[in-house]
Amino acid sequence: MNDLRHRLTARGGLVIDLVLAGLLISLWVTRDVTLWLHLAYICVPVRAYLRPGALATASRAAVISLVAGLMLVRLHGSGVLDADELIEIPLLALLAFCFAGFSAKRLREEAAIAAERAQLAGALDQIPLATIAFDAEARVVTWNATAERLFGWSSEEVVGKPNPIVPVGERAASDELFHRLVNGAPLHAVEVSRLARDGTQLELALFSTPLRLDSGALVLYADISERLRAQSERDEAQRRYQGLVESLPLVTYIDRVDDHATNIYTSPQIRELLGWPAEDWVADPRLFEELLHPDDRSRVMGQVKTANETYDPFESEYRMRHRDGHYVWVRDHSSIVTEREGGEAFARGFLLDITERKRLESQVLQGQKMEALGQFAGGIAHDFNNLLTGIGGYAELASSRAAGDPALTRCLDGIKAASAEAASLTARLLTFSRRHVLERTLVDPNVIVREAADFLERLVRADIRLDVRLGADVPWVEADPAQLKQVVLNLALNARDAMPEGGTMTLQTAGNGDSATILVRDTGTGMDEATLARAVEPFFTTKPEGEGTGLGLAVAYGVVDGLGGSLLLDSNPGEGTIVEIVLPSVADVGGAAEQAEAAPAGQPPTARILVTEDREIVRTLAREVLENAGFEVAVAASGTEALGIVEESPPFDLLLTDVVMPGLSGLELARAIRALRPTQRVLYMSGYTDDVLAESELENESTAFLRKPFQNAELIESVVALLAQPWAAAALSNAPNVSSAPAG
217-227: pLDDT as tens digits: 788 888 887 88
Comma-separated ranges of CATH 3.40.50.2300 domains in the chain: 608-734
Residues pairing with 207 in the sheet: 220
CA distances from 724 to 184, 649, 696, 698 (A): 123, 23, 21, 16
Question: Which range is least confidently modeled, 3-12, 306-315, 581-590, 592-601?
Answer: 592-601
Quick one: pLDDT at residue 626? 92
Angle between helices 616-628 and 712-723 (to 10 degrees): 60
| Largest Cα span, the chain | 202
> DSSP assignment of 609-675, as one string?
EEEE-SSHHHHHHHHHHHHHTT-EEEEESSHHHHHHHHHHSPPPSEEEEESS-SSS-HHHHHHHHHH
Residues pairing with 317 in the sheet: 331
* Banded pLDDT at 329 (limits 50, 70, 90): very high
In the predicted model, is pLDDT for residue 247 greater than 70? Answer: yes
What's the whole-number mean pLDDT along residues 2-27? Answer: 49
Quick one: pLDDT at residue 727? 37
In the predicted model, is pLDDT for residue 213 greater than 60? Answer: no
Contacts (Cβ under 8 Å, ≥6 apart) of 232: none
* Banded pLDDT at 121 (limits 50, 70, 90): low
* Category of 615 on φ-ψ map: left (φ > 0), alpha (ψ -120 to 50) or beta: beta
State how far the Cα of 447 lies from the Cα of 488, in Å rounded to an integer: 12
Helices (DSSP H) in 161-224: which residue ranges? 171-182
Comma-separated ranges of CATH 3.30.565.10 domains in the chain: 445-584
Percent of the chain with pLDDT over 70: 68
Quick one: pLDDT at residue 639? 92
Question: Which range is least confidently modeled, 48-57, 189-198, 605-614, 619-628?
Answer: 48-57
In the predicted model, is pLDDT for residue 393 greater than 60? Answer: yes
* Collapsed DSSP state (helix, strand, coil) of residue 450: helix
State how far the Cα of 304 lies from the Cα of 638, in Å rounded to an integer: 64
What's the whole-number mean pLDDT along residues 688-707? Answer: 66
Higher pLDDT, 510 or 689: 510
* Collapsed DSSP state (helix, strand, coil) of residue 62: helix
Quick one: pLDDT at residue 579? 92
* Banded pLDDT at 463 (limits 50, 70, 90): confident
Single-letter amino acid, residue 43: C
Comma-separated ranges of CATH 3.30.450.20 domains in the chain: 127-229, 248-353
What's the whole-number mean pLDDT along residues 589-608? Answer: 46
Question: Which range is least confidently modeled, 35-39, 107-111, 211-215, 422-426?
Answer: 35-39
Quick one: pLDDT at residue 101? 58
Question: Which range is least confidently modeled, 195-199, 330-334, 380-384?
Answer: 380-384
CATH architecture designation of domain 608-734: 3-Layer(aba) Sandwich (3.40)
**For 445-584, CATH number?**
3.30.565.10
Mean pLDDT taken over the chain? 76
* Category of 35 on φ-ψ map: left (φ > 0), alpha (ψ -120 to 50) or beta: alpha
Quick one: pLDDT at residue 2? 47
- Are residues 166 and 195 in contact, defined by beta-carbon separation less than 8 angstroms? yes
Higher pLDDT, 548 or 140: 140
In the predicted model, is pLDDT for residue 110 greater than 90? Answer: no
Quick one: pLDDT at residue 231? 83
* Banded pLDDT at 736 (limits 50, 70, 90): very low
- Are residues 252 and 347 in contact, defined by beta-carbon separation less than 8 angstroms? no
Quick one: pLDDT at residue 39? 53
In the predicted model, is pLDDT for residue 348 greater than 80? Answer: yes
Higher pLDDT, 94 or 29: 94
What's the whole-number mean pLDDT along residues 186-208? Answer: 84
Higher pLDDT, 25 or 228: 228
* Banded pLDDT at 635 (limits 50, 70, 90): very high
Question: Which range is least confidently modeled, 104-118, 136-150, 566-580?
Answer: 104-118
Mind listing the pLDDT tens digit for each residue in 83-98? 555 555 555 555 555 5
* Collapsed DSSP state (helix, strand, coil) of residue 26: helix
In the predicted model, is pLDDT for residue 582 greater than 90? Answer: yes
Given 3.60.20.10, 3.50.50.60, 3.30.450.20, 3.40.50.1450, which CATH number is that of 248-353? 3.30.450.20
Contacts (Cβ under 8 Å, ≥6 apart) of 244: none
Quick one: pLDDT at residue 447? 92
Question: Which range is least confidently modeled, 57-61, 363-367, 562-566?
Answer: 57-61
What's the whole-number mean pLDDT along residues 736-742? Answer: 35
What does residue 660 show for φ and ψ, rounded to 5 degrees? Answer: -100, 110
What does residue 282 show for φ and ψ, rounded to 5 degrees? Answer: -75, -40
What's the whole-number mean pLDDT along residues 196-217? Answer: 76
Q: Is the peptide bond before 268 cis (omega within 30 degrees of 0)?
A: no
* Banded pLDDT at 370 (limits 50, 70, 90): low
Given 2.30.29.30, 3.30.450.20, 3.30.43.10, 3.40.190.10, which CATH number is that of 127-229? 3.30.450.20
* Collapsed DSSP state (helix, strand, coil) of residue 255: strand
Q: Kindly report the CA angle at 106 between 104 and 112, in degrees rounded to 5?
A: 105
Q: Cβ atoms within 10 A of the Cβ of 358, count?
A: 16
Question: Which range is least confidently modeled, 79-83, 530-534, 589-593?
Answer: 589-593
pTM over 0.85: no
Quick one: pLDDT at residue 683? 94
In the predicted model, is pLDDT for residue 514 greater than 50? Answer: yes
Quick one: pLDDT at residue 1? 44
Higher pLDDT, 409 or 447: 447
* Banded pLDDT at 656 (limits 50, 70, 90): very high
CA distances from 593 to 539, 589, 724 (A): 38, 11, 21
For the chain, the residue count is 744
- Are residues 478 and 442 in contact, defined by beta-carbon separation less than 8 angstroms? yes
Mind listing the pLDDT tens digit for each residue in 530-577? 788 777 776 666 666 545 555 667 778 878 888 888 888 888 888 899
What does residue 386 show for φ and ψ, rounded to 5 degrees? Answer: -60, -40
